[in-house]
Amino acid sequence: MPLLQMKNVDINYRMKKNEVKAVRDFTLDINERDIVGIIGESGSGKSTLAHGLMRILPRNGYMKASEIKLNNKDILNISDEEFRELRWIEMSIVFQKAMSALSPVHKIFDQMYDTILAHKPQVSRNEAEEKLSKLLEIVNLPKKTLNMYPHELSGGMMQRVMISLGLIFNPKLVILDEVTTALDVITQGQLLDEIKRLVNEFKLTVMMITHDVGVVNEVCTKIAILYAGELLEYGNVKDIIFEPFNPYTQALVESHPDLNPEGSTLKGIPGILPDLINPPESCIFYDRCKYRKDICKNGKPELQDYKGRKVKCFRVGELHG
């Protein structure tokens, strides 16, 4: 059963003279209980997609789509007011830099409680405290954290608090946007374990945004590869990491030190993201692809079903037949 259905999502940013086409023709179903890693290098449109889904794009951003459904309910054509009813309650988002949004002079609990009241004014202090304490326990934080000030918390503790807050209303879908990125390796590992526990305990469906294939390998069941605003491959994490079909996916996996079977040094992918103001009419990865041929210049490959996954590449049959 798909929980989130997205069809032909386009998200643009208006500039003075032109538009940045940050996400283009993004189509994907996310099934209930899937932990989907959305991966791509910086600037590939991961946060834009998340913000579009949550209707929190900056003022110059706007989204078009032919369909967006959550739990079979149209969430594309509903009013902002109706949407507010389900934000945080049916779907929530946790950001990387949540900490900077907090006021330094108020205790953690008070700030969290304010957020809760903004969405559900009927929740009592006691109820909020009870729920948050339970969540904090799962993420290995003592209850007294709630009585602390933001500056008393480490980055890892802060992220645990923010994740707990994102789960306070038992949303079905949670978007985690680079929540472990700023943390040291050990804290990151612990937090990923805790996220796995939360996912099981609350039967969550997760969109986990990251630029790190290692993180996806660690916690996700599915992986979606985003490149310059386009979905290039989607399927089971283990299958895709074992044998990436799209050349960009392959380059991503090869450039990750822990996943590279040869254990060789980090390779990186030569070249830069294409221009998003005038995206090329060819395959979007053409410029940087080591398998490119003339056919790859002629128009865009479709996202096709291929051997149990979705992949965009003119040469997939030839290279992975």
Binding site for ligand ADP (CB under 6 A): 13, 20, 22, 40, 42-48, 58, 60-61, 276
Binding partner of residue 235 among ligand ADP, Mg ion, none, CB cut-off 5 to 8 Å per kind: none
H helical segments located in 91-124: 108-119
CA–CA gap between residue 302 and residue 253 (Å, rounded): 22
Binding partner of residue 188 among ligand ADP, Mg ion, none, CB cut-off 5 to 8 Å per kind: none
Binding partner of residue 276 among ligand ADP, Mg ion, none, CB cut-off 5 to 8 Å per kind: ligand ADP
Instruction: Give 13 or 306: the residue with its C-beta nearer to ligand ADP.
Output: 13
The per-type count for the chain, helices as H runs and strands as E runs, is: 10, 13
The answer to whether 48 contacts Mg ion (rule: CB under 5 A) is no
Instruction: Give 46 or 160: the residue with its C-beta nearer to ligand ADP.
Output: 46
* DSSP codes of every residue in 162-185: HHHHHTTT--SEEEEESTTTTS-H
Q: Which stretch binds Mg ion (CB under 5 A): 8-16, 41-49, 109-117, 253-261?
A: 41-49
Instruction: Give 79 or 100: the residue with its C-beta nearer to Mg ion.
Output: 100
The answer to whether 47 contacts Mg ion (rule: CB under 5 A) is yes
User: Hey, which bits of 213-283 come out as E strands?
Assistant: 222-227, 230-236
Q: Which stretch binds Mg ion (CB under 5 A): 11-19, 43-51, 151-159, 237-245?
A: 43-51
Shortest distance, CB of residue 251 to ligand ADP, whole angstroms?
Answer: 16
The β-bridge relationship of strands 2-14 and 19-31 is antiparallel
Instruction: Give 59 or 290: the residue with its C-beta nearer to ligand ADP.
Output: 59
Instruction: Give 131 or 211: the residue with its C-beta nearer to Mg ion.
Output: 211
Instruction: Give 96 or 159: the residue with its C-beta nearer to ligand ADP.
Output: 96
Instruction: Give 24 or 46: the residue with its C-beta nearer to ligand ADP.
Output: 46
Binding partner of residue 45 among Mg ion, ligand ADP, none, CB cut-off 5 to 8 Å per kind: ligand ADP
Contacts of 238 (CB under 8 A, 6+ apart): none
Reported for 78-85, long-range contacts at CB under 8 A and 24+ positions apart, including other chains, are 80/55, 83/55, 84/119
Shortest distance, CB of residue 60 to ligand ADP, whole angstroms?
Answer: 5
* DSSP codes of every residue in 197-219: HHHHHTT-EEEEEES-HHHHHHH
H helical segments located in 25-124: 46-54, 80-86, 108-119
Binding partner of residue 100 among ligand ADP, Mg ion, none, CB cut-off 5 to 8 Å per kind: none
Report helix, strand or coil for 151.
helix
Q: Which of 187, 99, 188 is nearest to 149 (CA)?
A: 99
Shortest distance, CB of residue 135 to ligand ADP, whole angstroms?
Answer: 26
The β-bridge relationship of strands 230-236 and 222-227 is antiparallel
Shortest distance, CB of residue 230 to ligand ADP, whole angstroms?
Answer: 12
Instruction: Give 61 or 150: the residue with its C-beta nearer to ligand ADP.
Output: 61
Shortest distance, CB of residue 51 to ligand ADP, whole angstroms?
Answer: 7
Binding partner of residue 58 among Mg ion, ligand ADP, none, CB cut-off 5 to 8 Å per kind: ligand ADP
Cβ pair 291, 214 in contact under 8 A: no
Within 10 angstroms of residue 215's Cβ, the number of other Cβ atoms is 23
Shortest distance, CB of residue 79 to ligand ADP, whole angstroms?
Answer: 24
Residues that bind Mg ion (CB under 5 A): 47
